[in-house]
Amino acid sequence: MDHVLIAIDVDIADTLQLIDKIFTCRESEHATVWKSLGDKLQAVSLTVGELDNMYYRVLADMYDRVLADMYDIFSQSKPDPKRIDDTIKQAQTYCTNTRLTFCLEEWQGEIQDAAFNHALKHHRYRELASTLRSIDGPLGRFIDRLSSLQSPDTSDVHERPARMQVSNTPEVSTDDKQWDLKTVLEVVKLAAEHPVEEGQSGESPPDLADICEEAIRNYDRALSPTLALLIGHAMQELAMVGL
């Protein structure tokens, strides 16, 4: 079970290592600002894709592995919570490790600086400048979403799990749009901490599978392919104009 605990940490470390390789591949070359820009564009595309994969895998693990055990908790008198705890820690790592978020924020600023660089004022660079400027919107939304998941402020999140009653059964809101990894994680943590006591078999467990499913469905899939398309076009333009 140890690999479950460190999986997301390992993925983040591996992604950072791949980013380092992208940047160090230019060490033997003349590192112009435009070659550096190409590296940063490639790093953004890699990081966004990897973060998406991590997000889906954490929720899939929670859905496929944790939720089954959560229901076991409600039906067994002496449940073993280790499996649940391991996957909760994995989700918490995604929601607290800000290293890749900081990288994306730094590259966003550098890409936009390049987009408005005086060297691109000539009309032959019009397509490149326009594409670079277009990256800012979807990348900013991706960073905002990631920052929201990793924000230490959970006041809005606790409004939903706080509905757990004296019976220790969380009430699930009918507003499906609210669910994401952060809100599902809080409900799962509370449900693990306050399982239905033995002898309360007449009570229904919280529908954790449904809220986890909604979190998976709510994730905006448009941002990653949009960024991949724009970045691919920008890198193509960089090569064509010979910067």
Question: Does any domain span residue 200?
Answer: no
List pLDDT tens digits, range 5-64: 568 999 999 999 999 999 887 665 556 778 899 999 999 999 999 999 999 999 988 887
Two structure tokens written together for 28: 């033997």
Residue 172: the pLDDT is 45
| Residue range(s) defining the domain that contains residue 32 | 2-154+222-241
Q: Write down the pTM of the prediction.
A: 0.82
Task: Say what the pLDDT of residue 91 is.
Answer: 94
- At residue 139, the pLDDT reads 98
* Separation of CA 186 from chain center: 16
* 169 domain-assigned: no
**Nearest alpha carbon to residue 127 among 43, 36, 233:** 233
Residue 43 lies in a domain: yes
Question: 122 lies in a domain?
Answer: yes
End-to-end CA gap in the chain: 50
How confident is the model at residue 241, as a pLDDT? 87
Note whether residue 194 is domain-resident.
Answer: no
Tokens 């909604």 locate to 214
User: Residue 198: inside a domain, yes or no?
Assistant: no
Cα 230 to Cα 166: distance, rounded to the nearest angstrom: 52
pLDDT by position in tens, the chain (length 243): 444 556 899 999 999 999 999 988 766 555 677 889 999 999 999 999 999 999 999 998 888 776 666 665 555 544 557 777 888 999 999 999 999 999 999 999 999 999 999 999 999 999 999 999 999 999 999 999 999 999 876 555 545 444 444 334 445 444 677 899 999 999 888 877 776 554 454 555 557 888 999 999 999 999 999 999 999 999 999 999 877
Identify whether 140 is part of a domain.
yes
Q: Any alpha helices (H) in 62-196, and if so which ranges? A: 67-75, 82-94, 99-115, 126-150, 155-158, 181-193
Pull the structure tokens for residue 179.
Answer: 């669910």
For residue 161, how many other CB atoms are within 10 A of its CB? 23
Q: What phi-psi label fits residue 199: left (phi over 0), alpha (psi between -120 and 50 degrees) or beta?
A: left
* Number of separate domains in the chain: 1
C-alpha span between 199 and 160 (Å, rounded)? 26
Tokens of 135: 């990256």
3-class SS shares of the chain: helix, strand, coil, % to 5: 75, 0, 25
DSSP state of 239: H
Residue 163 lies in a domain: no
Cα 14 to Cα 6: distance, rounded to the nearest angstrom: 12
Distance from C-alpha of 228 to C-alpha of 177, rounded to nearest angstrom: 26
